[in-house]
Structure 1
Amino acid sequence: MGQDYYAALHITRNAEDAQIKKAYRKLALKHHPLKSVEPASVEIFKQIAEAYEVLSDPVKRSIYDKFGEEGLKGGIPQEFGSETPWATGYVFHGNAEKVFHEFFGGNNPFSEFFDAEGKEVDLNFGGLRGRGVKKQDLPIQRDLYLSLEDLFFGCTKKIKISRRVLNEDGYSSTIKDKILTIDVKPGWRQGTRITFEKEGDQGPNIIPADIIFIVKEKLHPRFRRENDNLIFVNSIPLGKVKTLDDRLLNIPINDIIHPKYCKKVPGEGMPLPEDPTKKGDLFIFFEIQFPTRLTPQKKQMLRQALLT
């Protein structure tokens, strides 16, 4: 089940723009890492930032309402027959403080936490994070939606992230963009994790968080993957099967086809991650289409066939 952005902001699905902004403002100030010492607040701060970024954008919100998180992040299907059957999915940049900065405005959205000389102010919210003690932020996990073709052939994905980078003074910071490159290997499975160490926000007494991308498979219009095998469902009569690498396979069937019949084609599945030169198998299931009505003549022919 995907994330519930409305629940994250404590609002209903028919909330108006003003209510979304009011909810984010209240929760962002409550759970900001400089104001809360609760360990869970760091993750909550990121969740509400992502929720606000989606729900405050009419296009993203419309896609999310209709297709859910999977459609929003994995891309939504376009018209049948298009050369690019899936629209580009949404990827949250992972920088909750960027959302905070853009919402509250100003060159330094954290100015309220410091005095005129730039020294930390001891707030009545449990104080600031331990001074002089470096602590690594929790990992930032993001889904990476890939098509079966991406996972079959392998590919290169470039993802732009925005993060806070310390300035030369070692105290103030600036938001900068960075491109992360992911070399997808043939045969990667759903759940594969790609870790970029310490690519999160920088700051005083902070060890930047690791950014982890987790592979998710997009739905495919023809194939379903099970481990390293591919499942193909074909309606009788059988013609040719077009593989992921655009080859046409002629599948000879010499057996009697029944509702549970399955044809195994060795070596036509997904590449094995351990050795991409080897592949899993292709399993073809058949949809037998039974007629809803029979003429008296066809009924008689069927009786004769069953009695012989």
Structure 2
Amino acid sequence: MPVSVMRLTNINKGIIKLLPQIVTLIILITAIPQLAKLTWRVVFPVSPEDISALPLTMPPAADPELKNVRPAFTLFGLAVKNSPTPTDAASLNQVPVSSLKLRLAGLLASSNPARSIAIIEKGNQQVSLSTGDPLPGYDARIAAILPDRIIVNYQGRKEAILLFNDSRAPSPPPTAAGNPPLVKRLREQPQNILTYLSISPVLSGDKLLGYRLNPGKDASLFRQSGLQANDLAIALNGIDLRDQEQAQQALQNLADMTEITLTVEREGQRHDIAFALGDE
């Protein structure tokens, strides 16, 4: 046998011996990508192709119209509308008197406009209203509540309904020039009026007749105001204190009042006693 044939035979035998290893290597090379995909699917259910195909979601751009929107929460809260300035109050005092067939039976003029209340009487009915509320029977609304009147918007113009629109006018506030230090103390802490007045309810059966007034621990205000011992208070700023619901409402707002006008009965006659507690 020629030498070249023998060498070829030996080479073929070597290849035949290595053939299983070669086939195994080819199978492994072919299977590796599939094994990798299988492993990826087991560990991560979404395939790499699916991940690359997922749309990229970007956060929405800020709406330019929302830039001027105020947040619902602020560290120090939102500013509260102030009560009318002295200039505004002076101009409101010049508003013409309304011809509406309504009577201002009483009011609570607070330094906080949201707590001011007007008692409106129409016929035999009384309603408690605040700023912005509609008036009964008319297309009109309350624009402002002042110590002695309310301002209403009616048919595009401002009109005033006065509290004391009869011959019985209140006395001028005695504290305005009587005792400045006392006025200052009451302005700083108006709720301390109970230090100067002793107030006790007077009942006849289940009916409230009013509140008996006598000097408190400090009798200075009592003496200067024109009150007398055992005066019977029947109204506060025109609000009937003999109506238990109205009386409770009036007493709850006592600390916020800037002016107090007490209507008292004394020896069968009525007298109005005014206290100026607000800023001059």
TM interval, short-chain normalised: under 0.3
Q: Which has the larger share of helix?
A: 2
Larger radius of gyration: 2
Q: Give the TM-score normalised by the residue count of structure 1.
A: 0.19
